[in-house]
Amino acid sequence: MPTLGQLYPQLDSVQLPENLPYTQCSAFELRFLYLLGKHRLTGAQGDLIELGSGGGGSTYAAALGLSENPEFDRSSAKLHAYDFFRVGKGTFATEKFFAGGKAPDGQSSFLEDFQEVLGPFLDFVEIHAGDIWETSDPQEKRPIEFLHVDIAKTARVWTCVAERFLPRLRPGSVLLHQDFAGPRLPWLHYSTGALLPYIELAGPPIRSTLAFEVTERIPDEVFRAIAEDDFSIEKKIDLISAVQERVDRDHTGGIPFRSVLELAKAFVLHYEGDHRRAWKIAEPLTDDAYLARTRADHFRQIKAELPAPAPAVRRSTVRRRLGRLARKVGLR
């Protein structure tokens, strides 16, 4: 069985079908999912779980790889696909997930479209449609062999992931954070920092995805701290710094992750209400070409919360006030 890092040299040679379902994952990330399914995952060591399946592109790539893997028993193992499978407030879904690229009038669910495009694999793809807090089982304890996290866009959802899925990771488990290039999601970054003693990074991020394998048993207290967000502000920043020491640019050289992670620190402070300190970290990053091009709205979000500057006091006003004070104390 290859290590995760040994899959990297194959990325450029993978040829996926041209008519894959729409996805917000890059071609490189889809190829990696395919390679994982074909060469690494079996379902024999635990559940295979995708959190945030969207229109099905990433699910299709992983399922295609599994279907070509002689070690995968599609009659018994399952690839679990979790998503709202609808557009609307709070879902972070796009109408491009519909087969026609646009939601039919009066329709918000693209579940049927997902089922149609995943048709060749529905015998082993198990769909969990709805709010993850309602579709996941808090009592489930089966180990997880593979966890693809593309759903943790809010702290609320991340809490569910941290409570119900992360504690099921075991040595040998593979985890992919697809949103690792998102500075607004700092919980992904400092939680990874907390896991560093127990994991091995696959290599540079694959575009926006950080992949790693669990190599040591993760203590229960670490899972608890992540689920309860039991880190001080300074500890969160230190944990992100620890990740910065291990992660530089993505495997194509296009995404400067150290700058991305620095901006994530600013969002730690921003969410805690320390907007001045957040901007002190963020402002120098406005000179980063990648962040200036792709994250301008992030800078505006932080800057908008800065306290308004105190109104300027005219010199004539200051002189009058000093004069009145001097007369009161008898200097005039």
pLDDT given for residue 322 in this prediction: 59
Q: Is 7 helix (H, G, I), strand (E, B) or coil?
A: helix
Q: What's the rounded Cα separation, in Å, for the pair 17 and 41?
A: 21
Q: Is 18 helix (H, G, I), strand (E, B) or coil?
A: coil
Q: Which residue has the tokens 């149609």?
A: 116
Which parts of the chain sit beneath pLDDT 50?
Answer: none
- Among 163, 152, 147, which Cα is nearest to 49's? 147
Q: How many residues does the chain have?
A: 332
Q: What's the rounded Cα separation, in Å, for the pair 256 and 249?
A: 5
- Give the global pTM: 0.91
Write the CA distances from 149 to 61, 71, 83, 153, 265, integer angstroms: 15, 24, 11, 10, 21
Whether 147 contacts 51, CB under 8 Å: yes
pLDDT given for residue 96 in this prediction: 86
pLDDT given for residue 196 in this prediction: 98
- Among 72, 7, 65, which Cα is nearest to 45's? 72
pLDDT given for residue 326 in this prediction: 58
